Amino acid sequence: MPKVTGYTPAWLSKPEPGFDLFTATSEDEKHALSLNGKGTSKPGPRRTIAHRGTEVFIAVGKEIRWADLVYLKETWEDKQQAQKGQARGKGKESFQTESRDGNAQGYRTIKTPVADDIRQLVISPTGNYLAILTTHTVHIALLPESSHLTAPDTGPMRLKTYTLGPTTHVTSQSGIASALWHPLGVNGTCLVTVTEEAVVRIWELSTTDRWSFDRPTLTIDLKKLADGTSLDQDFGASVSGINKAFSPDSFEMEVASACFAGKGSGGWSPMTLWIAMREGDVYALCPLLPEKWSPPPTLIPSLTVSIVAKNAAMEDDFDIPESHKLLAQQQLAWFSDLDNQDPVHIESSMGEPPGTVYTRPAKPGKVPRLQGPFELDLAPEESDNELNDLLTDIFVVGEKIDAEQLMYGEEEELEMDDAEQEGLSAGIICLLTSSGRLSICLDLEGVEAQWLPTSKSRYSRFVQDIEIPSLLTFQVMETSRSSEIWEGSWPVFSPDVESRYSFYITNTTSITFVSLVPWVFRLETEMNEGNEGTDFRIELIAKQSSIRERVFTQKMHDTSAPLTASNLISDPDLGYFLLSATSHGPLALSFESPEAEMGLVRRERSPTYDSEPDKPLILCEPRPVYQPPHALAMSSGLTKLREKLGHSKYKRLLNEEVRMSPATLTVFTDVHKLLSEETHRLGSAAAELFRRCQRLQVDLQTQIRRANEVASRVDAITGNDTDDGPAVSANERLEERIQAAQDRQKQLAARIEKMRKQVTKGTNRELTDKEKVWVEEIHNLASKVLKEHEGDAVEDDNVPWRRYEEVEHIKEELLDQVSAEAQMAPSPNIKVPSEVRRVKMAKIKDLLDRESALVEATKNRLERLSMS
């Protein structure tokens, strides 16, 4: 899990401008925000923070605050450096901040035309549009450039805003459950809205066509679609309004949330809309496409491979049900219509490759079949607590893109991110309930495109034969404590920026990190390889839990300040950053970057790069900075109560003596009720302050103790812990210790080398092939030279030792013969000159010496080789 390195920084704390981003400006707004958290408003998701890079948009009441976090941080750092320079006596010359004095405070206020408090902010993929949602209305704002943040004008801004569906999304109609930007929309201009009454609408927005904000291009009533039998039926929403008559579908099909798998997923996932119903059912719409859509480069080829292979496998197989053949033929007809189109090439946003725009295929139809409700295999049993079964949010991770199958037989390599190629080849659906129960399910069968048949189709009777889809419940875990569960709780998901298989869960008072990485990649390996023992290993993987760690918890005094959905930002200036907020102020968490956790080496800096100063040693774990309770900053309501009494029928009592009467009792009762609430609130805040002071003492003692431990360790290293002997400088002591350590190291190295040699001599290890050949060659040479190896010698008369013996034998015979002849016959009186005799004798002795030396050298060499 990510390690928390710091909590809300100083540049987002009071009294800095960054703190004012998240708080109301007037007491009336603060009171309204507090009431919204106490359950007087309708429960639902709170996504009041959206970001575009390091720019954040925060909804506070009916207005939006727009700021750049990097600008706020740098402004605060400049101010701190200027204050340090002035404290050192350098004055204004130490640091120039005049360049920022004429600019804004780092944020702007955006006025909106909404009539109710903003509940959700959803920014488009390209960052050009911002969807502003209340409980029943949707407004689309055109976002300005970042340069407006640092403009000298600090007044409120009014953006170009369009009301989405002025006659559709209104207070008299159904509330808004989710608003999603379609991942396949052209340049991120397609918005999908899902109402609580299960009506899905697709809006293809264009600033040049105002009608695009008034009428959706496609409307689907899921209640009608669930009972549909053919494509010829009308599945549009009723124009007259909401049907007030009783229907079981009004409870079973009340939408809690909806989501797409994302543009980087494979197969049909990018065009599949998942809908989670409040009562626990899960549905899917595939393919849900706008009239004009732009697929990524890998989507069309991957669908081509899948559809063609499926139809080829079903063509001659008579055992396949007719319902499956119907779906395969529908997909083939859909792809044939798509293949016959001539796509339009457009320029995408900056940093993206050029895109292609297709038209939604007209065959088999524009309205897909509603798949579901999915059966949850191995689902947990129903509990007595109703909140355990009420869904609040859904999060889907699509299957990975199979690059090997996609580029099979192709010479070119497909350019894809490593994150898109890694992962699981099955979809993962995560469901979250009001009680904080998280269910992780696997879509092993895979959701594919399905349509209803036409009324004249011969396959219409096979519609009921289609099997009910199912999801395998892989794991169930709790993310909330029993004391944190209440009726208005609405936990939500927040995707992580570091991995598509990790996310954060934000509840009323807590933020929990969940990672599926420990088992995702191992499960994919087992599913692909399919070796012996796979069932046993998959069972072990199923028992291995996902990573679940709570990163933040605030005390639940009341529900007046619930946490908004977390936003994750990864930026070189901010780091790995989590941002959330309450109605009383911001909440920020700084995590250790994954590169630092993995120990990766940073790239080489340029010679002109100024290195950052070393961070101080952390003696204690980081903890949230104490913020005074909100009750201490609230003004008393007695003034407003007195003004209210001054305009009521009891105003005469304010100037008269106190008399016992029903009117006086009524006034005293109202005052007592107000004072009791305020005194209780102040008493709780004072008690919290007292406990914080006590905890501060304990923390201070702990820090002092740890500082002493570090100091003693430093003294032990430097040698300051001993007072014996003459005073020696720290450098000399360090050099002595280093020299002693080096000498000790050399001694240990010598001992290790000596022991290694002894172990090598006493260890019988097998000979290598080269050594065996060398030994064999030595034995062969010894058998040829030495007589004692005669048994191993080859039968050959030309071996050296036999030739040597033969020479010796001939020598002895010649000597005997000469001696015998000398005795038998007198030597002839032949006189040989002495000079000739000496020359001949010298040659003979030389030859004999050379032969003797050669034989002796050969014997010595063989003896040395045998000994070694």
Q: Mind listing the pLDDT tens digit for each residue in 179-229? A: 999 999 998 899 999 999 999 999 999 988 889 999 999 999 999 998 888
Distance CA(451)–CA(327), nearest Å, equals: 8
Q: Is the pLDDT of residue 178 over 70?
A: yes
Q: In what order do the strands lie in the sheet with 255-260?
A: 255-260, 273-277, 282-285, 370-371
- 129 near 188, Cβ under 8 Å? yes
Average per-residue pLDDT for the chain: 81
Q: Is the pLDDT of residue 610 over 70?
A: no
- 198 near 254, Cβ under 8 Å? yes
- 191 near 131, Cβ under 8 Å? yes
Q: Is the pLDDT of residue 459 over 60?
A: no
Strand partners, 547: 515
Q: Is 89 exposed, middle or buried (0-12, 13-18, 19+ CB in 10 A)?
A: exposed
Q: Is the pLDDT of residue 843 over 50?
A: yes
- 28 near 637, Cβ under 8 Å? no
Q: Is the pLDDT of residue 348 over 90?
A: no
Q: 542-547 contacts: CB < 8 A, separation 24 or more?
A: 542/474, 542/475, 544/518, 544/519, 545/475, 545/477, 545/518, 546/440, 546/475, 546/477, 546/514, 546/515, 546/516, 546/518, 546/519, 547/1, 547/502, 547/513, 547/514, 547/515, 547/517, 547/518
pLDDT class of 95 with cuts at 50, 70, 90: very low
- 264 near 184, Cβ under 8 Å? no
pLDDT, tens only, 505-528: 999 999 999 999 888 888 888 777
| Non-local CB neighbours of 728 within 8 Å, separated by 6+ positions | 719
pLDDT class of 415 with cuts at 50, 70, 90: low
Distance CA(454)–CA(706), nearest Å, equals: 77
pLDDT, tens only, 537-565: 666 776 777 899 999 998 766 667 789 99
pLDDT class of 609 with cuts at 50, 70, 90: very low
Q: Is the pLDDT of residue 463 over 70?
A: no
Confidence at residue 724, expressed as pLDDT on a 0 to 100 scale: 59
> Strand, helix or coil at 588?
strand
- Within 13 A of 194's CA, how many CA atoms are on the CB side? 26
For 182-305, where are the E strands, in sequence order? 190-195, 199-204, 218-221, 255-260, 273-277, 282-285, 292-293
Name the more confident of 41 and 467.
Answer: 467
Distance CA(55)–CA(622), nearest Å, equals: 26
**Mean pLDDT throughout 698-717?**
83
Confidence at residue 493, expressed as pLDDT on a 0 to 100 scale: 96
- 327 near 314, Cβ under 8 Å? no
**Mean pLDDT throughout 173-183?**
93
Confidence at residue 387, expressed as pLDDT on a 0 to 100 scale: 79
Q: 595-599 contacts: CB < 8 A, separation 24 or more?
A: 597/2, 597/3
- Of 451, 439, 447, the residue nearest 379 (C-alpha): 439
**Mean pLDDT throughout 593-600?**
53
Q: Is 226 exposed, middle or buried (0-12, 13-18, 19+ CB in 10 A)?
A: middle
Assigned token pair, 768 = 């290598």
Confidence at residue 854, expressed as pLDDT on a 0 to 100 scale: 85
**Mean pLDDT throughout 704-713?**
85
Q: Is the pLDDT of residue 257 over 70?
A: yes
Confidence at residue 420, expressed as pLDDT on a 0 to 100 scale: 59
pLDDT class of 465 with cuts at 50, 70, 90: low
Angle between helices 834-867 and 800-824 (to 10 degrees): 150
Q: Is the pLDDT of residue 471 over 90?
A: yes
Does residue 769 come out as left (phi exceeding 0), alpha (psi in the -120 to 50 range) or beta?
Answer: alpha
Confidence at residue 660, expressed as pLDDT on a 0 to 100 scale: 84
**Mean pLDDT throughout 695-720?**
82
Distance CA(490)–CA(45), nearest Å, equals: 6
Strand partners, 194: 178, 200
Distance CA(739)–CA(745), nearest Å, equals: 10
Distance CA(745)–CA(141), nearest Å, equals: 70
Q: How far is CA 483 from CA 36, 45, 382, 397, in A?
A: 21, 20, 20, 31
Q: How far is CA 373 from CA 226, 452, 799, in A?
A: 9, 16, 95
Distance CA(125)–CA(368), nearest Å, equals: 25
User: What count of other Cβ atoms lies within 10 Å of the Cβ of residue 799?
Assistant: 17
pLDDT, tens only, 747-797: 999 999 988 888 777 666 677 888 888 888 888 888 777 766 555 445 566
Residue type, 368: P
Q: Is the pLDDT of residue 40 over 50?
A: no
Q: In what order do the strands lie in the sheet with 575-582?
A: 4-6, 585-591, 575-582, 567-571
pLDDT class of 831 with cuts at 50, 70, 90: low
- 282 near 370, Cβ under 8 Å? no
- 273 near 285, Cβ under 8 Å? yes
Residue type, 188: G
- 163 near 213, Cβ under 8 Å? yes
Confidence at residue 102, expressed as pLDDT on a 0 to 100 scale: 47
Assigned token pair, 781 = 């040479």
User: What count of other Cβ atoms lies within 10 Å of the Cβ of residue 750?
Assistant: 10
Distance CA(442)–CA(742), nearest Å, equals: 58
Confidence at residue 35, expressed as pLDDT on a 0 to 100 scale: 47
Lowest average pLDDT, out of 156-170, 411-425, 833-847, goes to 411-425
Distance CA(546)–CA(479), nearest Å, equals: 12
Give the β-pairing of 470-478 and 375-377: parallel
Strand partners, 58: 49, 65
Distance CA(33)–CA(446), nearest Å, equals: 43
pLDDT class of 148 with cuts at 50, 70, 90: confident
- Of 617, 625, 622, the residue nearest 709 (C-alpha): 617
- Of 176, 206, 192, 186, the residue nearest 260 (C-alpha): 192
- Of 243, 191, 196, the residue nearest 222 (C-alpha): 196
pLDDT class of 836 with cuts at 50, 70, 90: confident
- 448 near 454, Cβ under 8 Å? no
Torsion angle, alpha carbons of 271, 277, 280, 281, to 10: -50
Q: Is the pLDDT of residue 638 over 70?
A: yes
Our CA angle for 590, 5, 695, nearest 5°, is 110
pTM higher than the cut 0.85: no
Burial profile 675-694: b = 16 or more Cβ within 10 angstroms, e = fewer: eeebeebeeebeebeeeeee
Assigned token pair, 532 = 């012996």
Q: How far is CA 324 from CA 304, 450, 456, 466, in A?
A: 18, 10, 18, 8
Confidence at residue 385, expressed as pLDDT on a 0 to 100 scale: 77
Distance CA(517)–CA(410), nearest Å, equals: 31
pLDDT, tens only, 278-334: 999 999 999 999 999 999 888 888 888 888 888 877 777 777 777 788 888 888 899
User: What count of other Cβ atoms lies within 10 Å of the Cβ of residue 844?
Assistant: 10
Q: What element of type H or E holds 179?
A: strand 176-181
- 301 near 412, Cβ under 8 Å? no
- 232 near 163, Cβ under 8 Å? no
Alpha helices in 234-340 (DSSP H): 249-252, 299-314, 322-339
pLDDT, tens only, 386-403: 778 899 999 999 988 876
Look at the block and give the residue holding tokens 């050192």: 88
